Structure 1
């Protein structure tokens, strides 16, 4: 489920699947301390400004032994000092007063970006088992409802609206579809809840954590005069990241459309099939609906970029280059390999065994432009797709809202059954551009590099995704015919992707880290140094 608020800021990730721990060697020097190997008699201690190598502290785990709990925190400290993009801005605190989780939450910069927002909003952890399940299959507990929360902390104006559902889910089976407003949850009014007990009921209903949980929703379907009640049972939902592939026949040619919700492993086959269909149809243009795509596998964004642009535009060109902190100008601190840029990938990588064989050549559309539908939920690998295409002079027309602004990434790194995510690199395209931490902004008259030619428009929850009357898709088709925005387009003033929501009062928020993985940028080790 998606919840867009300052309490659930999307994350940017780079991952090396299968890494057992941080591969960096840690800080070295005459003032460093080295604890003994596991089983030694001396427990490592914290000394301000002195750091053991993270490798020497890794995977020494026991919740029942104080010394090893300290070792977990010291591993986090050394790993962060070694690989965190802004390591010099971390305050070196004594870990003793904090739990492992609390201490990790402190190992980040407190500095602000140029726009005055926090520089790092992308810091989290989850159990390693949970991460593996989510990343490989997109599986999570829920009802198959994806929704938008408006004014989450203001009870008088609070509103929860369904944005789309997953096929073959409790939501789709009960016809809970786009545009439906959730009025009550287990008898508690969404709009009127103003105490912690009521908010807890709403959050528990919106974000179930266990299979079998039953929740009663009162909903107002789009266009309905009366409410109806439906009881949904939570189950493990495997998302369908590629939906609604279609060809739209216009008087000036064929336009391909596809809804792409997440760069997860199962999307590789979905994208392969969708682009094959559109290629065979001979589409003249493409509209990619990324409005709810928080990111995922960076290599998949590279594959999609290749399938859009084709061989001639992408051969020997860079999709994205990663820059790490100043300790590692030429070497990846996690893989210990020399830094090399990610190319536009022209073949399947076999992300999900059995769905598409590794090495299969990818279909191409050979387009010179692409229309991208965006909101504040368009993040990370989705932004990398836009940036990578712009880097090789593919015209990107942006229709919708300002994206979330995540040019950063991490390698999910496991230690003691928990996987940690801390910003470790910044991505730039073939032209060396990556300055979009406040998001890509659609503009009729771009003046900044992060402003993209296009139309600023609000999401339209009154029409189905893929409906040619839906505001964003309709605007893309209009722009294609007229080289300008329709009159309903709003001003091009820059707006923060997160500023719409106020962090005060009683706030609906998803406390589960499992939803945060969706808004990320992931690097895989499937193809070596990619």
Structure 2
């Protein structure tokens, strides 16, 4: 199985991965002291910057020439920075290993790292020249495959970077600057329809009385619905995406077609509450699960224990806005749903033919974890289980990565998983993030497959019942369209007719133009969701040495 031994690594107080570490490629084997762990990103969670450990040169290595487009081993230029960081890493207290180098050194590192670890390294265009790109980040952005999926989408839609310190802060507990809202773009062009999809408990938005379903009408005096000028659009985007604590914007929301009094929201550090609602509706359990972060481990255990106490016979997991997170949490949740046989595979990781991290077959195996991993419950604590053979999941385009792993992993061991809502995002791929010179790079390095060997869902999982997101009801309300359809599917065995009628009638699926024959209607999606909200995160992986 994937090695979860606790080994020294950067940005690590508990030496458990929470979106911040990465094992080095095979060429880095001599740097045992810099052993790291990884973030496996599938489609799937989450926001913030910087992962992996700060990396440096092998002892005694002479840096190669900085310029030119020849590919060099990333280890020979690692940590050679145009602007080296000073001081120590916040979590370990060890000095940053950065040394004075150049932008060309940083670009050489990026090219070498891609060639060594990228899943599709052979599909990176060979005509690209580093000199044509001003920074390591712009160079990195083009070093990816140009292939497409069966539907015509880019195969690699998940290639991104983050400022290392921002990533560290966000990944450690889901803390980010904002109002505590998720904005859903139902229609992004005039006449726009931007709704509040979700509100975090105790957040500035929650304190101000803002609720799911509120429609943005104005912000800072700008007409959100009809504005077309660049200046107005920039105002809207700035208000939706505050960059710093203390930043304030004034909103006018419409509720039931009636404009409400203006409300000023001030951004604060908001901590995500991953499990916001657990309840029984008759003998069917309902679990609202929004983020596979470390704090969710205890919240999920408490939720499953609560549902066991309520003697539920079926379960609806609402992951419509869950972009992913820790793969171990996904495995634990899948175990708590069904209790697969000992030794079953939750997910196996497939890398490129270079085996860049020098893993043995057993180290690519992720089991269904039956005991706590030590994130927020005691390591080794037995997990409760409902022992179900069927589960219903509420999904949409923001259901990503680790969330999709729950679906795929359970299906791989014969559990019936029905999906109600919309097609998921389609991210069966993963990566280990790596910091270099203050930037953390995320490039796909492997694909996850289930026990049955399936992992080809780059276009997402299609729903069993297609149902529009219902912004006129709160999440967990049995009359909310997706939950109502799920309850009807559980009791009746087929998609209720009311679901199809609601989807057809709902203004929540307005399109800019008429849909092509047979095409699925455009789904609302969460605005300003960072790539980090759509990931799989791994615990510590073994040092290649």
Q: Which residue of 2 aligns with 1:455?
A: 465
Alignment deviations for residues 50-103 of structure 1 (CA, whole Å, 9 cap, x no partner): 422212221122338995221111111111111111101112422123211111
8 Å CA contact 2:186, 2:194 repeated in 1 = yes
Of residues 294, 316, 321, the one that matches 2:343 is 316
Per the alignment, residue 10 of structure 1 pairs with none
The gaps in structure 1 that reach 5 residues or longer are: 1-14, 28-34, 443-453, 503-507
Partner of 1:345: 369
Q: Is the 8 A contact 1:402 1:496 kept in 2?
A: no
- SS of alignment partner, residue 364 of structure 2: coil
**Partner in structure 1 of residue 310 of structure 2:** 281
Q: 1:19, CA displacement in angstroms? A: 3.8
When residues 404 and 516 of structure 1 are mapped into structure 2, their CA distance, relative to the original with a 3 A threshold, is: same
Per the TM alignment, residue 157 of structure 1 is displaced from its structure 2 partner at its CA by 2.3
2:278 and 2:303 in contact (8 A); partners too: yes
Q: Give the Cα separation in 2 of the matches to 1:472 and 1:335.
A: 44
Partners of 1:369 and 1:501 in 2: how far apart?
27
Measured after TM superposition, the shift of residue 228 of structure 1 is 2.1
For residues 287-345 of structure 1, the C-alpha deviation after alignment (integer angstroms, 9 at most, x for no partner) is 000100111111110000000011xx2311100001111222xxxx2364554310001
Which residue in 2 is equivalent to 1:392?
413
Larger CA deviation: 55-64 vs 85-94: 55-64
Q: Does 1:52 align with 2:54?
A: no
Tell me the distance in 2 between the aligned counterparts of 1:500 and 1:475.
17
In 1: Cα distance, 2:219 partner to 2:271 partner: 24
Match of 1:125 among 149, 161, 164: 161
Matched, 1:515 2:505: no
**Retained in 1: the 8 A contact 2:64–2:77?**
no
Does residue 110 (structure 1) correspond to residue 120 (structure 2)? The answer is no
Q: Structure 1: how far apart are the matches of 2:297 and 2:334?
A: 13
- Conserved? CA contact 1:21–1:415, under 8 Å: no
The verdict on how the C-alpha distance between 1:36 and 1:165 changes in structure 2, with shifts beyond 3 A counting, is closer
Taking the aligned partners of 1:282 and 1:219, their CA distance within structure 2 comes to: 41
Q: State how far apart, in whole Å, the 1-side matches of 2:534 and 2:20 are.
A: 20
How far apart are 1:151 and its partner, in Å? 2.7
How far off is 1:414 after superposition? Answer: 1.2
Aligned match of 1:239 in 251, 254, 272?
A: 272
SS of 2:489's equivalent in the other structure is helix
Choose which of 97, 106, 119 in structure 1 pairs with 2:132.
97
Corresponding residue of 1:334: 357
Structure 2 residue 318 is matched with structure 1 residue 303: no
Partner of 1:206: 240
SS at match of 1:350: coil
Is residue 173 of structure 2 the alignment partner of residue 137 of structure 1? Answer: yes
Give the RMSD, CA atoms, in angstroms.
Answer: 2.8
Conservation of the 8 A alpha-carbon contact between 1:145 and 1:166? yes
Distance 1:386 1:495, change over 3 A: farther
> Are residue 61 (structure 1) and residue 61 (structure 2) matched?
no
Match of residue 88 from structure 1? 122
Name whichever of 457-466 and 62-71 sits farther off.
62-71
> Structure 2 vs 1, CA of residues 385 and 528 (structure 1 numbering), >3 Å: closer, same or farther?
farther
Determine helix, strand or coil for the equivalent of 2:108. helix
Bigger Cα displacement from structure 2, 378-387 vs 488-497: 488-497
Q: Distance in 2 between matches of 1:527 and 1:356?
A: 23
Cα distance in 2 for residues equivalent to 1:42 and 1:523: 32
Deviation at 1:516, TM superposition (A): 2.0
Report deviation, 1:484. Answer: 0.9
Q: In 1, distance between residues paired with 2:415 and 2:519?
A: 25
- Whether the 8 Å CA contact 1:309–1:366 is kept in 2: the answer is yes
Indicate whether 1:438 and 2:440 are aligned.
no
Answer 1 or 2: higher relative contact order, Cα 8 Å, separation at least 6. 2
Q: Which residue of 2 aligns with 1:356?
A: 377
8 A contact 1:475–1:486 mirrored in 2: yes
- Cα deviation for residue 363 of structure 1 reads 0.9
Report the counterpart of residue 26 of structure 2 in structure 1: 24
1:174-219 deviations in whole A, cap 9, x for unaligned?
Answer: 1110110011111111112211111111111000010001110001
1:435-514 mapped onto 2 (5 Å cutoff): 435-442=456-463, 454-490=464-500, 510=528
* Cα distance, 1:111 vs structure 2: 1.6
| Partner residue, 2:261 | 228
- Deviation of 1:515 after TM superposition, in Å, equals 2.4
5+ unaligned residues in a row in structure 2: which ranges?
A: 1-16, 30-55, 85-98, 505-516
| 8 A Cα contact 1:460 1:472, kept in partner | yes
Which stretch of the first structure deviates more once superposed, 488-497 or 226-235? 488-497
**Secondary structure, in 3 states, of the residue corresponding to 1:134?**
helix
Which of the numbers 155, 165, 182 marks the counterpart of 2:216?
182
Distance 1:357 1:36 in 2: 37
CA distance in 1: counterparts of 2:57 and 2:534, whole angstroms: 38
Match of 1:427 in 2: 448
Q: 1:335 to 1:517 in 2, by over 3 A?
A: farther
Partner of 2:104: 70
| CA 94–395 in structure 1, closer or farther in 2 if over 3 Å, else same | same
Secondary structure, counterpart of 1:137 in structure 2 = coil
2-structure distance, mates of 1:46, 1:203: 39
**More deviation, 223-232/159-168:** 223-232
Aligned-partner Cα distance in 1 for 2:480–2:78 = 51
| 8 Å Cα contact 1:295/1:382 also seen in 2 | yes
Alpha-carbon offset, residue 397 of structure 1: 1.1
CA shift, 1:231, in A, is 0.4
